[in-house]
Amino acid sequence: MSSLFQYHLFLPLLLTTARPLLDQRQTESYFTVPQVATRVSHTPSSSMGQISATPLPDEHFFRPTFRLGKTGTGPIPCSAAQLHILTLLEHVKEQQMAIAAAVNNLASRLGTEAPVAEKPKDISIPLTTVPEVEEFEEWLKDSRNSQAKQNMISALGAVGGQNTKRVTWNILSRLYSDAVAKQINWKGVNGKKCFKEMLTRSLLIRAIRKNQSSTNAADSEIDSYAIRWFNLAPDRGGGRKERSRVKEALTEMARGN
């Protein structure tokens, strides 16, 4: 049997046998979709798209340190990239808090220091006598001392104090001793010096507003604290105890009689 005759004889048989295999190969190559594992969320869906609360294999948990309020400090589900970013933010927050603490500490130290105010020659501050108070008023009137007066205002404005009241009282304590403060009141009644008419009052107001704690303080507010400070002068330096002791002595003498 010739080769050509054998080819024509077996060709139909080969085609019949091979066609199902070819069809199966084509179907697998072009129409078979590989199976992909999908994650199933048990959280109800919404129009905004809701993240599943079910932990996924690649999820991480960030445990915040500075999270405050009602949210607490519980773990927060996040991705690896989010965990890295949040950790860096926590580190930045720690550094920020450390810097803020250092600044507050430095500010408190500077606030407690008593700067030396530039004062007139031949006048000692705090003023201790009425003649010194009068001499200081004359010095404030002299226009030649305007620059020195500005320097004094700046120095007194740096005196520490957590509010307007404390700043006012601290500056007055720099200017007047308790002894001479007893000889001054707001209206100048009972033979005392009238603070309301003094140039020192204007100096005081300007110095107080130089302080960051009392930049916006009103004149009336400052005046009220100054009035109170002078009214309490007799009680400072043991004055109250001394008056109480004298009163008790007088009471004992009255009983003896």
**Mean pLDDT, the chain, integer:** 75
Q: pLDDT (tens digit, 9 = 90+) per residue, 182-231?
A: 999 999 999 999 999 999 999 999 999 998 889 999 999 999 999 999 99
Q: pLDDT (tens digit, 9 = 90+) per residue, 4-44?
A: 455 455 555 555 555 555 455 554 444 444 454 445 444 45
Q: pLDDT (tens digit, 9 = 90+) per residue, 145-182?
A: 898 899 899 889 988 888 999 999 999 999 999 999 99
C-beta atoms surrounding 87 within 10 Å: 12
Span 45-67, average pLDDT: 58
Question: How much is the pTM?
Answer: 0.51
| Residue/partner pairs of 183-189 with CB below 8 Å, 24 or more apart | 183/130, 183/133, 184/133, 184/230, 184/233, 185/227, 185/230, 185/231, 186/223, 186/226, 186/227, 186/230
Domain spans in the chain, listed from the N-terminal domain onward: 60-112, 130-242
